[in-house]
């Protein structure tokens, strides 16, 4: 998606070590118009998978997931990383190693909002190692729901997430696919 790629090239920063800074338009400051376009595009790419719900992880997945869900006219659930007081005692919980945080995080969803027969579209800001998304897949499976697609704004192809997730046999879409970030480069692929 050219609009996102152009924005990454103009406002994104390759900080080295595979870290792409997109704090100016996705992860800290958010451009609502860009997020709207990305949500519309993801909704369009997954228009035929019959999703009944979008699932993401707090924090930075919320924007893209909300905008995608808005265009698909389905609810969005964001997995929590800490259990709020409003959540019941019985929950779905999985652990996912976070590359950028350097530690393992909990992903928690209430059984009230994820159930058998749901058709789940997973949306996140990044597809990198795929560990967070695989955590969301496990939550959906634990609930007896079917994962019908996986979408991300930005994929870092060289971190192997697509290989991990391709075993699921569902469509995987990324709006900006980055194949190389070595030596300060930001190289897009198809």
Select 152 or 165, whichever has its Cβ closest to a copy of itself. Answer: 152
Which range binds a copy of itself by CB under 8 A, 83-91, 138-146, 171-179, 181-189?
A: 83-91
Can you tell me the distance from the alpha carbon of 6 to that of 11, in angstroms, rounded to the nearest whole number?
A: 8
Number of Cα atoms under 13 Å in the Cβ half of residue 133: 33
Q: Is 21 in the site for a copy of itself (CB under 8 A)?
A: yes
Q: Which stretch binds a copy of itself (CB under 8 A): 17-25, 133-141, 142-150, 153-161?
A: 17-25
**Footprint (CB under 8 A) of a copy of itself, residues 109-128:** 109-110, 112-113
Calpha distance 131→164 (Å, rounded): 9
DSSP label at 72? H
Cβ 21 to a copy of itself, closest distance in Å?
4
Q: Is 48 in the site for a copy of itself (CB under 8 A)?
A: no
- Bridge partners (DSSP) of residue 53 are 120
Q: Which residue has the tokens 């992880």?
A: 57
Least distance in Å: CB of 188 to a copy of itself?
20
Calculate Rg over the CA atoms of the chain: 16
Nearest-5° Cα angle at 108, 32 to 152: 40
Least Å distance, CB 169 to a copy of itself, is 27
40 binds a copy of itself (CB under 8 A): no
Q: Could you tell me how far CA 3 lies from the centroid of its own chain? A: 18
The H or E element that residue 5 is part of is helix 2-11
Instruction: Name the site residues for a copy of itself (rule: CB under 8 A).
Output: 13, 15, 19, 21-25, 27-33, 35-36, 58-59, 62-63, 66-67, 69-70, 73-78, 80, 84-87, 100, 109-110, 112-113
């Amino acid at each position: 998606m050219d609009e996102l790629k152009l924005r990454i090239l103009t406002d994104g920063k390759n900080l080295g070590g595979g870290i792409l800074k997109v704090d100016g338009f996705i992860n800290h400051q958010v451009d609502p118009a860009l997020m709207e376009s990305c949500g519309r595009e993801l909704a369009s790419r997954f228009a035929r998978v019959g999703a009944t719900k979008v699932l993401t992880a707090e924090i930075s997945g919320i924007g893209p997931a909300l905008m995608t869900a808005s265009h698909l006219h389905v609810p969005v659930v964001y997995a929590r990383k800490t259990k709020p007081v409003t959540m019941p005692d019985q929950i779905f919980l999985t652990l996912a190693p976070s590359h950028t945080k350097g530690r393992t995080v909990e992903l928690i969803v209430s059984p009230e909002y994820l159930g058998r027969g749901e058709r789940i579209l997973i949306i996140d800001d990044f597809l990198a190692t795929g560990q967070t998304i695989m955590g969301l897949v496990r939550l959906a499976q634990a609930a007896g729901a079917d994962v019908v697609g996986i979408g991300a704004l930005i994929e870092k192809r060289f971190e192997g997430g697509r290989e991990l997730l391709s075993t699921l046999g569902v469509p995987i879409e990324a709006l900006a696919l980055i194949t190389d970030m070595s030596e300060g480069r930001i190289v897009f692929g198809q």
